[in-house]
Homo-oligomer: A and B are copies of this chain.
Amino acid sequence: MANNASSSISPSNYTESATKQTEALKSLFDPHSIDPHLLQKIEYDALVWSSLHGLLVGDRASEKSGRIPGVGLIHAPISLLPTPFPESHWKQACEVAPIFNELVDRVSLDSEFLQESLSRTKKVDAFTARLLDIHAKILDMGKKEEIRLGLHRSDYMLDEQTNSLLQIELNTISSSFPGLSCLVSELHRSLLHQYKQHLALDPLQIPQNNAVGLFAETLYRAWAEYNNPRAVVVIVVQTEERNMYDQHWISTLNFTYEVRSIRRTLGEIDAQGEILPDGSLIVDGEAVAVVYFRAGYAPTDYPSESEWSARLLIEQSCAVKCPSISYHLAGTKKIQQELAKPNQLERFLENKDDIAKVRKCFAGLWSLDDSSIIKDAIENPGLYVMKPQREGGGNNIYGEDVRLSLQRMEKEGMEENAAAYILMQRIFPVISRAVLMRDGISHKEHVISELGIYGTYLRNKTDVIVNDNSGYLMRTKVSSSNEGGVAAGFAVLDSVYLV
C-alpha cells in the first residue's frame, strides 16, 4: 500500500541543491552570535512588548490562572527572533490551504468513506469510536449540515533530505494560536524595526499575519448566515485553560462585529442545553448560532458521559458547528493516511493541479498491513515514525523503538496491532539556531520549526462563502526532542522570516 512517494524511503533522495539552500538559511543570521549585551536588551524589550500587547498565557505555577482571567499571567513562550523559511515553500503551503479546506468539506460529505476508513481504528481507539457513534446517529437521523464552517490549520515541516514541505497533520478542530501567532509576528517585526541598526533583517520579510482577524470574521459570517440577530456564539472550552488569551483575542474581535459569545464547558452545555422543536440549540437561555470548539478534541475533554451527551446534543441541533462531527473525523490521522493512498484524492477533487499540489505535501504514510514496509522499517527504523491512530497527540515512536515495537507486534500478531498505529516517513527537519524565551529566561538552542497555515472555510447549501488561507503559526522547539511533530507543551511561538 504505497503512497505518492516510492515504496520505501531511500537516503538517495538527498539532493545537493537542498544542502546549499539549507546552508544559506543557516548563515543568514545566527542569533547565537549576537553580542550578549545587545541580546539582553532585545530579550528585555521582547518581554515588555509581550506584556503590553497581550502575548500572554496563564502561568502553570499559578493555581487560578487557568480559571480566572487577569491573574497568574506570564508571557507566552516565544522565539526571540523569527526563523528563516524559504519563500517558495511558504507560497506552496499558502496555496494549498484552500484546496485542503475544500478537501475536508468533500470528505466530510462522504459518510461511507469516513465510517469505512475508520472502522478498524474504532476497534482500538475508544475515543474515535465514540465520535463515529455520534456520526452514525446523525446519519440515521438523515440530518445534513447546510452551513459548514471550518477553521483549520495544516501543519508542515521542511524535510532537509528531500527539500520538501511535508504535512504533519491537518487540524480540523480547535486549531490553536490564531490570536497569539499574530502577536508574535508583530513582536518580531517590531524588534527588527527597533534594532535595525544592529540586526540586518528586514521587518517586511515577516509575512503579515491576520489569522485572528480572519477567524473572527469567518465566525461572524457563519453567525450572520445562521440569521438570528439575537443568537450567540458558544465557545466550547476546557474547565481549566491556560491558553485562554489566545481564545479571548477572537472573542474580543467578535465583539467588534457586535456578536456576543459565551464560554461553556461540554459539562455546562449538557446541564444548560436543550434543542427546541425547530432544531435550534439553546444554552443557558440563549439561542446559539455557532458552536466553536476550543475543547472536545482529546479524550480527556470527555471525563464523563455528560460531555458525550453535550457533543451529541450540539450535533443534533441546527447550530453551525466548528467543526461538525464529520469535519472532526475528516481531520483524523487515519483519514490523512487513507487520502495518501493512490487514487483516493481523485475521489474528492477534480482539478488535477489541485490533486498534485495536495499530494506533494504528503509524507510517506503506510498502514501496518504492508509487510514490505514493515520489513523496511525494521531494517531502517531511523527513517520511519510510528504514530498512534488515537487522536489527542503524544507518544509517537522513533528510532530503535520502531524496530522493537514492530518486532513485538509481529510476535503478538500484527493483525491485533495494525489498526493502532500508522507508519510515517520520518522527516529530517532543517535545524537552525534560536534564542527561546520561557518564564522570563532565555535559552540558546538548536531548534526545529513547524509551520502551520490557517485555513478558513464557510459555505451554505448553494455557495462557498469563504475559502482562504488565513495567516500562520510557526512553532519552534529544541531539536533534541523527537522530530516527528512539535509537542505543543514544549514548543514556543515563533514567526516566519522569508528567505
Contacts and interface: CB of A to CB of B under 8 A. Distances in A.
- Contact-size category for A: 20 to 34
A64 B75 CA distance: 13
Contact of A70 (B47, B69, B72, B252): B47
B54 A69 contact: no
Interface in A239-267: 245, 248-249, 251-252, 255
Contacts of A64: 440
Contacts of A141: none
Nearest to A284: B37
A175 B72 CA distance: 27
Given A73-B73, A74-B73, A68 B54 contact: no
B54 A70 contact: no
A199 to B, nearest CB: 15
Contacts of A74: 70-73
A47 B75 contact: no
Interface in A49-87: 49-54, 56, 59, 64, 68-75
A248 B51 contact: yes
Nearest to A439: B71
B68 A440 contact: yes
Interface in A261-298: none
A113 interface: no
Contacts of A49: 252
B48 A73 contact: no
Contacts of A440: 64, 68-71
A372 interface: no
A194 interface: yes
Contacts of A59: 71-72
Interface in A293-336: none
A66 to B, nearest CB: 12
Nearest to A183: B52
B252 A52 contact: yes
A49 B53 CA distance: 11
B47 A56 contact: no
A51 B255 contact: no
A245 B71 contact: no
Contacts of A54: 51-54
A14 interface: no
Contacts of A51: 54, 56, 69-70, 73, 245, 248
A44 interface: yes
Contacts of A53: 54
Contacts of A251: 48
Interface in A438-461: 439-440
A323 to B, nearest CB: 25
Contacts of A248: 48, 51-52
A255 B194 contact: yes
Top 3 A-B pairs ranked by shortest CB distance?
A47-B70, A70-B75, A52-B54
